[in-house]
Amino acid sequence: MGSRFDITVVTQDTIQANQYIDIAVAEISRIEKLISSWDQSSQTSLINKNAGIRPVKVDQELFDLINRSIGISKLTDGAFDITYASMDKIWKFDGSMTKMPTEEKIKASVAKVGYRHVVLDKENSTVFLNKKGMKIGFGAIGKGYAADKAKALLIQNKVSAGIINASGDMNTWGKQPDGNDWKVAITNPLNKTKAFALLPIVNGAVVTSGNYEKFVSFNTKRYSHIIDPRTGYPSSGIISVTVFAPKAELADALATSIFVMGKEVGMNRINQLAQIECIIISDKGDIYTSDHIQIDNN
């Protein structure tokens, strides 16, 4: 998945801990084979190769993941969209861009994007992308899904507590060896020297998405590397989003969506969802929190 995974388990001894960690690593590798669009033999690649040609029969697990992804697209009015992979890469965030792409180019870049063009046949477990050149990708949900699956497998193996950290997607269960809840520090990217809050995570997930390192600026406006799949324009106004949710898969997808929806719409959507909380940091360093979040200021 192109991401670093750190796995922590609470057990009696190191040998047992390593065995459990191996189980989690094997599960993450299995999921990568299923959802990777880089692996030409994966079912995801097969779906992409057959876009506009024919439906592809897939494992129930992949079918369900795609189905849930479309559900999140509906929930976020298309701000989250696994067909983002169909986008033309016209924005460069490596310092090489000297001017904004034209409006025509931006519009054309998202011509093949649109979750409504993913046709699912539940009875036959097939997936069909009905536009030639369309692609799906799990970059904004895959890490979270893998973390959820690894956690579930370890719980099934009677591991009492632990953390799966998928490059900042934290998924926890149980308690620390001293009996305290796991805690996550929230840092303001504009002042990385100290955390402004320390929050407990109780058998849930927390995902932080930041765009303060990859961006371009035109006419004093800063554009981030997270692009709105509906318009082709990069998001702006937010530099960091932290989402707390029961599952990392949902937290992962929502964190990306909030950048695209913007702080007012994004926060309003979060406040309508049960068991989901978030913290948004604007590009001016202002901090916004959802209605029911409990912040322990340092």
pTM of the entire structure?
A: 0.92
Find the helix packing angle between 248-261 and 142-156, rounded to 10°: 160
pLDDT recorded at residue 122: 97
pLDDT in tens, the chain (298 residues): 678 999 999 999 999 999 999 999 999 999 999 999 888 889 999 999 999 999 999 999 999 999 999 999 999 999 999 999 999 999 988 888 888 999 999 999 999 999 999 999 999 999 999 999 999 999 989 999 999 999 999 999 999 999 999 988 899 999 999 999 999 888 877 777 777 778 889 899 999 888 766 788 887 787 888 899 999 999 988 999 999 999 999 999 999 999 999 999 999 999 999 999 999 999 888 999 999 886 655 4
What burial class does residue 68 get, using C-beta atoms within 10 Å of its C-beta: 0-12 exposed, 13-18 middle, 19+ buried?
middle
Q: Report the side by side order of strands in the sheet with 56-57.
A: 56-57, 126-129, 118-121
pLDDT recorded at residue 296: 57
pLDDT recorded at residue 101: 92
- Name, in order, each residue with C-beta under 8 angstroms of 168's C-beta and a sequence gap of 6 or more: 207, 208, 209
Scanning the structure block, which residue is given the tokens 């320390």? 198
In angstroms, rounded to a whole number, what is the distance separating the alpha carbons of residues 154 and 181? 18
In angstroms, rounded to a whole number, what is the distance separating the alpha carbons of residues 197 and 296? 6
From residue 108, how far is each of 9, 118, 145, 215 by CA, in Å? 47, 19, 31, 21
